[in-house]
Amino acid sequence: MFNIVQDRLNQFGEKYEDLAPAVVGELVKSAGEFLEYLVGQQAANEAMSSLMRTALGIELENPEEWRLQWEALGLSDLARLVGSENFTNLYAYAFFGLPTTYDRSLDERGLSILGHCTSADMFLESCPRTWADVGVLERTLEAAQTRWAIDAGVDGTLVGPEGLAAIAGVSLKSIKNILAPSSGSDLRTTENGQVRVEDARRWLEGRPGFLPSIWELDEAGSVVPASTADHMLDDVLFVPVAKDGSHFSPECLVGKHYQIGPKSAPQKIADFRLALDLLTRMEPPRWRRPNSKGVPGLVTGVTWTRKTAAELGL
């Protein structure tokens, strides 16, 4: 009997090219070379030797040869690195609609996808572009964020042409040509050049190569439960509370985004749960929220409180 999940896993196994491990491996090598400048060659050699032992279980007789040993690693070795695993899981979701984690409730699977997107976004924000060509990682993230916007199913949400191009497997130029009024396509942009998620969903579902998401299915092809008796807190979220007693909520939306982070470098995120996940990783958490006059002001979280999804209006 046909099993859609197993079939999709087989497609992923056949088509995935281990692109992320190669990039992650190059980044680690560049990090080691950067360490030499910061702490000296001997200390860097010892650090990289320790890294290879801890991360890959490889013992080096001569730490000064870490670079040669690293360059000799195969993709199967590099694929064992945590960063490689994270981007491989994100790739499976972005292009094949597979979950980033298994054997969990539907709520936990969704939060895992959000967590992978957030971690990848933060990583790429700080990643030195001269260390490696991270284009494949950026496209994976853009495709994953676009798929999540579609899966969330909130009409009116906007996605960018870059993400649409990534998930469709076409060039940005091709997408821009399709979006041009003269193309004859019914796919249109808003005034700021974005695409409404309902239009993106309809367009993608009409493409023969697009694979709809199946991350909500278990290995037998049945829908996994939203939550289980052992996870009664799945519908509960912990949100930061500011000194004035206000807490982070959907009402903190500024325009069409939540503005997260310090005043000097705010990150604009459209999805509430993705924004909250980012706040949980900040110390201290900072966000903007409109005051009584509608003017957004920066606040800092001093504690956390538990709120149900219903209390937050989710």
Sign of CA dihedral 306, 309, 310, 314: positive
In 43-175, the DSSP E strands lie at 158-159
What are the residue boundaries of the structural domains of the chain, listed by start? Answer: 1-16+81-229, 19-78, 232-308
Question: Coil, strand, or helix at residue 305?
Answer: strand
**Could you tell me what percent of the chain has a pLDDT over 90?**
48
- Residue 2's pLDDT band, with cuts at 50, 70 and 90, is low
**Token pair listed for 31:** 């990090």
Question: What's the pTM value of the predicted model, to 2 decimals?
Answer: 0.72
Region 305-313: what's the mean pLDDT? 80
Amino acid occupying residue 37: Y
Q: What's the pLDDT at 232?
A: 44
Find where tokens 């993709």 sit: 75
Q: Mean pLDDT check: name the lowest of 24-33, 69-78, 148-157.
A: 148-157
The helix (H) or strand (E) run that includes residue 90 is helix 82-96
Sign of CA dihedral 216, 218, 224, 227: negative
Q: How many CB atoms lie within 10 A of CB 62?
A: 10
The helix (H) or strand (E) run that includes residue 111 is helix 106-126
Give the single-character DSSP code of 252: G
Label the pairing between strands 267-269 and 296-308: unpaired
CB of 87 closer than 8 Å to CB of 20: yes
**What are the residues whose beta carbons fall under 8 Å from the beta carbon of 84, sequence distance 6 or more?**
20, 21, 24, 25, 78
Q: Mean pLDDT check: name the lowest of 161-165, 238-242, 249-253, 301-305.
A: 301-305
Q: What's the pLDDT at 98?
A: 95
